[in-house]
Structure formats: C-alpha cells, structure tokens
Amino acid sequence: VSEVANTVLRSNGGTDVVIGDASPFVIIGERINPTGRKKLAEELKQGNYETVEADALAQVAAGAGVLDLNAGIPGFDEVAMLSAMVKIVNDLVDVPICIDSSTPEALEAAVPLAGGKVLINSVTAEQHSMDRLLPLVAEHGAAVIGMANDEDGISMDPDVRFAAAAKVAANAEKHGIAREDVIIDPLAMPIGAAPDAGTAMIATMRRIRDELGVNLSCGASNISFGMPGRHEIDAAFLTLMIGAGMNTAITNPLHRPVKKAILAADLLLGHDEFGAEWIKDHRAELELAQGS
C-alpha cells in the first residue's frame, strides 16, 4: 500500500490531531446525530443540549479523537441547531470537530463559528455540491470529506466510485485546497443487502490511495445495517478497512467490540508500541467489571 499525506485537524483549543499512515487510527465519534435517536431529536427541538454535552464528554473519554456534529431533523431549524452544537462542543472538549450536514446553508452558518481546523462532512462529486461547498472549505482552511458518488448515485463498480473520488480531488485542487485536506469516503453499504459491499470498498480504496494519495474515511456502521450482532460486524469491518489503509472513520467508540478492534489493529500495525494503550484499556475494562 502506497503512503498518503497526513491530514492535520485542529481543535478550538489549538490541539492537533493527525490522520495518517504513521499514526494511530482516529475515531470520529458518531453519536451527536439525531438520526434514529428520538430522545436527542426531542431535546434539540426544545433547545436542550444536555445529551449533546454528555455524548461529547463520553465519546472523548472513550477515545474519540474528533467529534462529528449533525443536527439534521427534517422540518426543524438545522442552521440554528448545528451552530449551537459547534459552539457548545468547541467550548466543552479539546478535540477537532467534523461538521456534518447535507444542507449547505447549515454548513455555511456553522463552519465560520468553529475554531481550529475543522473537517466538513461532506461534499459529493455532484457538480452543484462541489461548486457550492469547496469554496467554503477553501475560505476557512478546512478539510473535507468527499463522498465517492455523483449525479448517477452510488455505483457498486469500484472504478465508477474511483472516478467520483477523482472528480472531488480535482475540483478541490482547482479551489486551492491542499490534497491532504481531502479525505475520501468510499461508501460503506449494508453487507446484508450487497454481498460485495466490502470487496467493492477495498478495491475502491486501493485505487484512491495509489492514484489520488488521499486519506480515507467512512461511516462504518452502515455496513452492518439490518444484521444482528452489528457491533462485531463493525469491529471486523473496521479492522479490514484499517488493513486496507483507512486511517479514520465515523464510528462509536462506546461500542466495546469496535473500540477493541481499533486498539488491537493499532497494536498489530505498530502504532501502539509494547501495547501501552491496549493494556490501559484492558485494565480500565477490568476495573469497571469489578466495580472499583
């Protein structure tokens, strides 16, 4: 596997997080997202950010290096909610944020409020998406996740996905965005519906790394949608992805099988010398189990 350049994000407090081949895997905590979370959605509608705060603290404590912030509730004021999330989380924890929306207005409002160097999630290879969002990325010196789909939707053909990724990389370059500030999401689809979901990703990733030289991320839990034993599927999936050269993903560090798989992969790939992090996590788990 060829080497890719490091992506460096920065927290509001000035702390850098490095995404790259020589660094431990970076977990982007997925929890702050009302999709499928009724209680959180209800709170957000009432301007209550207590769960957001609790989720931010819990995910960082569990090892999230970055926090994804998503405020998408159909029919409600995403601009206001996403902006509030950015300010609250920026003040609460010292990790970079990943500002996540499919609504350009929400990104345009929230990104300028963030300190440090944020990750914008996401642009697609659709021309209207790139034309509108890449200037925002460039203006704020942000990094961006580019989804490997375009106007024709999501293909199961790795070469079609690669072409979409290449379009995002080329357009980003035109807007003056450094190559290392583009992270491609090769699109994790539910394996229960698409038996080639994993192999298509691995093939896409190989071309993206070799030919575009960019980092890779994904929304990891999509892979197990509809299957029983989701956390264990996610864990094995992330391990395979890490082996194929993925250095960050949006996932849940509070899911123990996921966290352990990531720590074990770091250990096995030489990013946790003598297992210091692995042993620390193991001890904490034992202490928790013993109620001490």
CA distances for 220 relative to 27, 50, 93, angstroms: 10, 26, 23
- In degrees, rounded to 5, the angle at the alpha carbon of residue 67 between the alpha carbons of residues 38 and 15 is 155
Cβ 210 to a copy of itself shortest distance, Å: 14
Alpha-carbon dihedral sign for residues 168, 258, 223, 43: negative
Q: How far apart are CA 221 and CA 19, in angstroms?
A: 20
Q: Which of 218, 223, 246, 249 binds a copy of itself (CB under 8 A)?
A: 223
Our finding on whether 239 is near a copy of itself (CB under 8 A) is: yes
Within residues 245-264, the interface with a copy of itself by CB under 8 A covers 260-261, 264
Cβ 262 to a copy of itself shortest distance, Å: 9
| CA-closest candidate to residue 95, choices 67, 55, 137, 61 | 67
> For residue 69, which phi and psi values (nearest 5 degrees)?
-120, 120
Q: How far apart are CA 148 and CA 124, in angstroms?
A: 7
Q: How many residues bind a copy of itself (CB under 8 A)?
A: 37
CB atoms within 10 A of CB 10: 17
Q: Which is nearer to a copy of itself, 46 or 290 (CB)?
A: 290
Our finding on whether 23 is near a copy of itself (CB under 8 A) is: no
Q: Which of 174, 282, 284, 287 binds a copy of itself (CB under 8 A)?
A: 282
Q: Which is nearer to a copy of itself, 42 or 285 (CB)?
A: 285
- In degrees, rounded to 5, the angle at the alpha carbon of residue 146 between the alpha carbons of residues 143 and 148 is 160
Cβ 226 to a copy of itself shortest distance, Å: 9
Task: Please tell me the number of Cα atoms within 13 Å of 17 on its side-chain side.
Answer: 29
Q: How far apart are CA 30 and CA 239, in angstroms?
A: 18
Our finding on whether 225 is near a copy of itself (CB under 8 A) is: no
Q: Which is nearer to a copy of itself, 115 or 275 (CB)?
A: 275
| CA-closest candidate to residue 191, choices 153, 242, 237, 247 | 237
| CA-closest candidate to residue 170, choices 213, 203, 204, 117 | 213
**Which amino acid does the sequence have at 249?**
A
Cβ 63 to a copy of itself shortest distance, Å: 15
**Part of the chain binding a copy of itself (CB under 8 A), chosen from 18-26, 45-53, 147-155, 279-287:** 279-287
Within residues 158-217, the interface with a copy of itself by CB under 8 A covers 191-192, 195-199, 202
Our finding on whether 228 is near a copy of itself (CB under 8 A) is: yes
Bridge partners, residue 97, by sequence:
67
Our finding on whether 240 is near a copy of itself (CB under 8 A) is: yes
Q: Which is nearer to a copy of itself, 47 or 243 (CB)?
A: 243
Q: Which of 114, 235, 246, 250 binds a copy of itself (CB under 8 A)?
A: 235
Our finding on whether 268 is near a copy of itself (CB under 8 A) is: yes
Q: Which is nearer to a copy of itself, 73 or 236 (CB)?
A: 236
* Contacting positions for a copy of itself (CB under 8 A): 191-192, 195-199, 202, 223, 227-229, 232-233, 235-237, 239-240, 242-244, 260-261, 264-265, 267-270, 273-275, 278-279, 282-283
